[in-house]
Amino acid sequence: MRSQHHVLRGSPSGTQRSLLSLHFGPAHSGRQALLQCALHADEIPPLLVGYHLRQRLASLEAAGQLKHEVVLVPAANPIGLAQHLWGRHQGRFEINSGHNFNRHYPDLAAAAAERVQGRLSDDARTNTRLLRAAMHAALAACTVETELQSLRQTLLDLTIDADIVLDLHCDNQAVMHLYTTPHHPEVTRDLGRCLQAPLALIAEESGDFPFDESCSMVWSKLQALLPGHPVDLACFAATVEHRGEADVSHALAAQDADGLLRFLARQGFIQGDVGSTEPFDCSLRPLAGSLPLNAPHAGVLVYHVEPGAEVKAGQAMVEVIDPIGGESTLLRSPVDGLFYAREQQRWAQAGQKLARVAGFEAKRTGKLLSA
């Protein structure tokens, strides 16, 4: 194992933070996978998954079973890890700016395409190497004025050479599920099968350029910008939602680490026995078909259905009970679909998203992710 500390710039207080990356396996084998944990720093389940991955990858490396480099970022957000307000951890938004840590990553496609003009060939693999070098250079040329910009730049730079990028998160209260693009459906199904995730939410662009899309969608944009030369879709990237915030146990974390390693083995990164993959159906559904149930008024939440259930349009889902006015409103599923996530807190404000149901047809347009 090789460890690297990446110093973040632009601290508003004059102090310095660093980001740790752990590198396992041969460094120059021609392929790389990267897994990062808890970009939203208050999402704890992936931090424990990373702890188990670290030990398992070290053992696999010692046994000579790693065919290609695997990079693990065990805590992807040192800024968010340090943010506490009134005794509560605040790791989704940077307190200084209010920005979501998982939005607004640099789009390097146009700058990289400009840098390789006149240098590309008819060989896609050679073009991939040239384009990756161009993206590193374009990213290094980006202006960094804040610590958040430095974090984004550092994390993205670590992924440019990766063929597989998995961004490990969790939801509020949910079943295991994935977010990714439509370009690698079989790889998506394989990841879902290995993790026993019943759902993958698919979108070409979800809005505001989240981390995983900055890694994968740059390649389809390069294809459009460079039509005269072969350009591979050289990176599969996905966000993995490790259930809900309170699903923190060694049993679940070990199960998920094993699933991630089985996936890497099936993708050619690990040789030897890392366990078998049981048959499991991961349903690929449009992110635009994921519909929320919103609270019409403030109140106590009483759920009638548990996450993981397939529900029918019109089925009773959750009551919102106003204890002062005595009003009770029953919310019903807007579509047939999988009830995959809900609010963990049992008091809701008016307009708050309470639950999400993944249908089979695209119903929404515009920005598809929450703040």
Residue 255 pLDDT exceeds 90: yes
What is the CA 202 to chain-centroid distance, rounded?
12
Tokens of 140: 């290094």
Residue 143 pLDDT exceeds 90: yes
pLDDT at site 277: 85
Mean pLDDT of 158-182: 98
Tokens of 359: 């249908």
Residue 25 pLDDT exceeds 90: yes
For the chain, the average pLDDT equals 97
Q: Quick one: which H or E segment has residue 34?
A: strand 32-37
pTM: 0.97
Residue 7 pLDDT exceeds 90: yes
Helix H segments across 101-159? 109-115, 124-140, 147-159
- pLDDT tens per residue, range 202-227: 999 998 999 999 999 999 999 999 99
pLDDT at site 15: 87
In whole angstroms, give the CA distance from residue 330 to residue 59: 52
In whole angstroms, give the CA distance from residue 66 to residue 57: 8
> What whole-number percentage of the chain has pLDDT above 90?
94
Edge-to-edge strands, sheet with 299-303? 328-332, 316-321, 299-303, 347-348
Edge-to-edge strands, sheet with 18-24? 2-7, 18-24, 69-73, 32-37, 164-171, 236-244, 177-180, 199-202, 283-286
Quick one: pLDDT band at residue 14, thresholds 50, 70, 90? confident
